[in-house]
Structure 1
Amino acid sequence: MPYLIPSYFLIIKESNLDDLRRDVSSDNPVSAYLKVGNVTYNINIAYRGSYTRKFRKRSFWIEFVNPNRCSGARIIHLNAEYRDPSLIRNKLSFDFFQDLGILSPNSQHINLIRNGSFKGVYLQLESVDDLFLKKRGLPSGAIYYAVNNNANFSLARDGKRKKSLLSGYRRVLGSKSDDDLLHELIYKINTTSLFDLPNKIPRYLNIEAFLRWLVGAVCTMNNDGFTHNYALYRNNETGLFEIIPWDYDATWGRKVDGGIMEHNYVSIKGKKANHLCNLLLQVPEFRKLYRNILEETLETKFTVEYLEHKVISLHQSLRPHIILDPYKKKAIDTFDEEPEFIFNFIRKRNSYLKKRLNKLD
C-alpha cells in the first residue's frame, strides 16, 4: 500500500502570525483554522520544541477546538524535522518501537500549506494523552513527559542532589496522588539493594517493556533519549509504569545537529546517566532477558533486510514533496543519499552490538 502524503491547509490572520513570531519561546497559542480533508477546524496553534524554535522552519503544537477531534485526536504535533536530512528518522524509530511491542506514538508525514503558500513537509505526531490510551484499548492512568535530563531515575544529576525526585517530569494526565506513586518508584529504585531489586521493582515497573524500550533506544542509538525524550504511563489496572519513546529524530547515525554520529557512540548497555538502566543490567536475570530480546532483534528486526522496504518506501514517497519544500529542496542531493547512509549505519551498528553481546553474560 503506497504511503500517501496528505495536505493540511492552515489559515491564520497575519496579526496572529505576528504574535507567534514576536516571542518564539512563548507557549501561548493563537487562534487559526486548519482544513484537513473536507473539514475545517477551529484550532489553537503555538510553536513547540526547545532549541528548534530558532530554526527557519519551526514545529507546531495544534489543539482542535471546533470540532474538538480530528481522526480521534484532540492535540497533534507537527514536527519540522529541520535537522534530519532524511525527514524519516522519527517515523522510522516509532514504527520500529511498535514492531518491538512498545507503546509508541503514531506518525504521518503531511504537506503544510499556510495561507496558500507551501511551507514544506512536516511529520504529524500523535499526542501521548488520554486519547492515546483510548485508541489502544488501554486502562486509564497517569502520564508524565520527561522534559529534561533530571528525568534520570536518580536522586542526583551531575553529582548534585535534586531538589525533588519528580524534577524533570511534567504530568499531563492524572492527579497529585499519581505524583506520590512516581515519587515512590524513583525512591525504591534508589534505596533498594541489588539483592532485593528483582523482587521489589517489578511491583512498580513493567520490566520486559522497559527492557524492550532499552533495546529500541540502543539499536536506533538515541543518545539524547535516555534521560529525557520519553513519557511514563502508569497502567491503573496493573499498577505498573511503562515507558514510551518520544522525539527520535537524532537517530540512525545522525546527531541532533544533523551531523554524523559514529555507530559505536552509545554502549550496548545504553547510558549510565539513566540510573534505572544501569541498575537493571546489574541484575543477572534482567540482564539475561535484555540480552535475549536484543539478540533476537539483531537477527530479525534491526537488519537492512527487514527495514529496507520501509526506508525506501518512505524516501520515494517523500521525494516529490521534498523537491518543493522551500527549506529542503536545496539539499535534495543529501536527501537522496540518506537511505544508503541509514543502511550503512544499521550494518555497522548491528555488527558492533553482536560483537558485544558477551558483555551481557
Structure 2
Amino acid sequence: MPCTRYTHTNREVQALQPVQLCKYKLILILHMAASKPATAAAAGPHKLEMGAFQPCVWGDFFVTYNPPLSQSSEMTMQERVEQLKVQVRALLEDNKNRSVADVVTLVEMLERLGIGNHFRGEIGTALRHVLNEEPEFPASSDDLHIAALRFRLLRQHGLWVSADIFDKFKDETGNFSTSLCSDPVSLLSLYNAAHLATPSEDALSDAIVFSRYHLEAMRNKLRPPMAEQVSCALDIPLPRTVRRLETMHYIKEYEQDESNNGPLLELSRLDFELVRSLHLKELRDLSLWWRDLYDNVKLSYARDRLVENYFWTCSVFHEEEYSRARLMFAKTFGLLSLMDDTYDVHATLEDCYKLNEAIQSFSHRLNITSVRPNGPTKSMPRASRST
C-alpha cells in the first residue's frame, strides 16, 4: 500500500531546500522498502540481525587487570621525571652558539621520544627563532636533511614556511639533483617533509615521487636502523604515524645509538611507563563501565569494540593531561557504535521511528530536529517514553 503521508507534487518537491530534499528522498526510499513484501520480514523482526559480530578478542583481560606499578613506585618515578625535566629544559634554553641543525635535531628527538609535550613552550620558542633565523642561530644549512627537517617541524607546529627552500637542491631542468639519489638520510627527510604539502604545492608532490622511487630502489641495501626507518616510512610516512607507536619503536632504536643523550633516554623510558600505566587504568575503568552497559542492558547484538575505540582516542591524544578527554571520546564512540548497530541490524523500521522520537523528546532543548521532511515530530506521550 503506497504511503500517502510522504506524497508530494513535483512543484512541492522542487520548492524544498537541498537539505530538506535529501531528507525527503531518504524517507521516501525507506517507506518504499518497507511497503514491499519481503519473505525475510515475514519471519519476524529478529531476522533483521543479519549475522552476529565477532566477539571481543580481549575478553575480560582489562577488567581483571592489576597495575604492575605500585603507587609508591609511580611516585618515585614521577619525582625522577621532574628532576630530568629540569635538565632537559636547561638544554633547550641554552641557545648560545647553537646552529639550526642542532636545534631541529633536538626538537625532533624530543618529539619522537614522546616527551615533547613536557616542553611545549620551550620548543615553540626555539622553532620561532629558527623560523626567523635570529642572530643566535646561524643561517640555514645547505644540507637537504636539515632543510627538510626544519621544514617539517615548522609546518607541524603551525609555522608557515615556503616549499621554495627546496629549489636550491634542483638542477637547471627543475628536477632534484642526481647527487641526492645515493643519500638515504636526505631522501627520507625529504619524503617525510613533503607529506605536509598543501593541495596546490605540486613541487612537493614531485618530491614524494622522486624520494620514494629512490628509497624503494635502495631499501634492500640499507643497514639497521636506516633500513627499518625507510621501510616504515614507505608504509606510513612519519607525519601520519600513530605517535604512541612511533615512540615505542624509537625508544628501542635510540637505546642502540651510541651517541644517545642519557637524560633524554631515561626521561622517555620513565614517561612511557607512567603513561602506559595510566592508559591501562583507563581501559580497566572503561571496560567495567562497558561490561555493565553491554551485559545488563542485553546488547549482545551490537559490536563489542570498546578497546578499539579507546585505541583511536590514544592515537589522537595520548598525553597524561588528556585523560578525561580520552574517557569521554571512548564512551561517546562506544555509544555511537551501539546506536549504529541498533539501527542497522537490530531494529525494524517502526522501531527506528520510535527510537528517533524518543531521542527527539529527550534532546529537544538542544534544538535537534527530526529527519522527517515535514518538520519536527511531536513529542511522544509520557506513558510511552519508557519503551
- TM-score w.r.t. the length of structure 2 is 0.21
Larger Rg computed on CA atoms: 2
Q: Which has the higher helix share?
A: 2
Higher RCO structure, 1 or 2 (CA under 8 Å, sep 6+): 2
Q: Which has the higher strand share?
A: 1
- TM-score w.r.t. the length of structure 1 is 0.22
